[in-house]
A and B are shown apart, each in its own frame.
Chain A
Amino acid sequence: HVQLQQSGPGLVKPSQTLSLTCAISGDSVSNNSAAWNWIRQSPSGGLEWLGRTYYRSKWSYEYALSVKSRIIINQDTSKNQFSLQLNSVTPEDTAVYYCARDTTGWPFDRWGQGTLVTVSS
């Protein structure tokens, strides 16, 4: 039974870095049939894919152009988790952030519980 457990602060000051972690149980971050994603949902409800990491003999990282200059997704195989860093945040980055797994043929079939991150001074 795959579970994703998110952690990280819910309040970040403008211009600082948003950092979240997603711990995986029931699967491996190194699973070569899976990819590990970050998705956010704005207060108005729109869902936006931010990026993902996956392992296929080497680690790869793919990012949405909208955040590419500010985002880093990493993995920690020793802890079986992956992380999101979003730099230079503004109030427009206020959203619920989700981690999610996708596998070959099954898009975003498992999700974390979501973390509301508010960007405010």
Chain B
Amino acid sequence: AIQMTQSPSSLSASVGDRVTISCRTSQDIRDDLGWYQQKPGRAPELLIYSVSNLESGVPSRFSGSGFDTFFTLTITSLQPEDSATYYCLQDRRQPFTFGQGTKLEI
């Protein structure tokens, strides 16, 4: 299975800050990388698919980049509602695998 190494596992930031979360994969997954946001008691929600494509309705302060085996999620101008846990996902090869999660505290 493709291993996903996400970092950091947690971080604290302030309103208006910029943060970056990284995800490293054990194999080249081309552009089959997505990012999810999960708030307590809720299902994960798709933010970004195919590395850098913003899901409909997601604020433009979220962006993704990367290639090969290293990918990042960047959130600029942090808002209080961005407090959540973020996960990366590879859907290049089965079993589809998620990163361990990054808990962002605002």
Where the two chains meet, the residues of A that have a C-beta atom closer than 8 Å to any C-beta of B are: 45-49, 62, 64-66, 98, 100, 102, 105-109, 111-114
Cβ-defined contact, B46 with A108, below 8 A: yes
The 8 Å CB contact of B49, one of A47, A64, A105, A112, is A105
Contacts of A62 on B, CB cut-off 8 Å? 94
Chain A CB within 8 A of B85 CB: yes
Cβ-defined contact, A111 with B91, below 8 A: no
Where the two chains meet, the residues of B that have a C-beta atom closer than 8 Å to any C-beta of A are: 1, 32, 34, 36, 42-46, 49-50, 55, 85, 87, 89, 91, 94-98, 100-101
Distance (whole angstroms) from the CB of A33 to the closest CB of chain B: 15
A/B pair count, beta carbons within 8 Å: 55
Cβ-defined contact, A107 with B34, below 8 A: yes
Main secondary structure of the interface of B (DSSP, over half): loop
6 A-B pairs, CB-CB below 8 angstroms?
A: A45-B100, A45-B101, A49-B94, A62-B94, A105-B50, A107-B96
Cβ-defined contact, B44 with A108, below 8 A: yes
Known contacts: A45-B85, A49-B96, A102-B91. The answer to whether A109 contacts B55 by CB under 8 A is: yes
Distance (whole angstroms) from the CB of A49 to the closest CB of chain B: 4
Distance (whole angstroms) from the CB of B93 to the closest CB of chain A: 11
A94 CA to B98 CA, complexed, in Å: 18
Cβ-defined contact, A107 with B97, below 8 A: no
Known contacts: A105-B50, A106-B49. The answer to whether A65 contacts B44 by CB under 8 A is: no
Contacts of A64 on B, CB cut-off 8 Å? 94-95
Cβ-defined contact, B43 with A112, below 8 A: yes
Distance (whole angstroms) from the CB of B29 to the closest CB of chain A: 12
Distance (whole angstroms) from the CB of B71 to the closest CB of chain A: 14
Cβ-defined contact, B50 with A47, below 8 A: no
CB-nearest residue of chain A to B90: A107
CB-nearest residue of chain A to B41: A114
A105 CA to B45 CA, complexed, in Å: 15
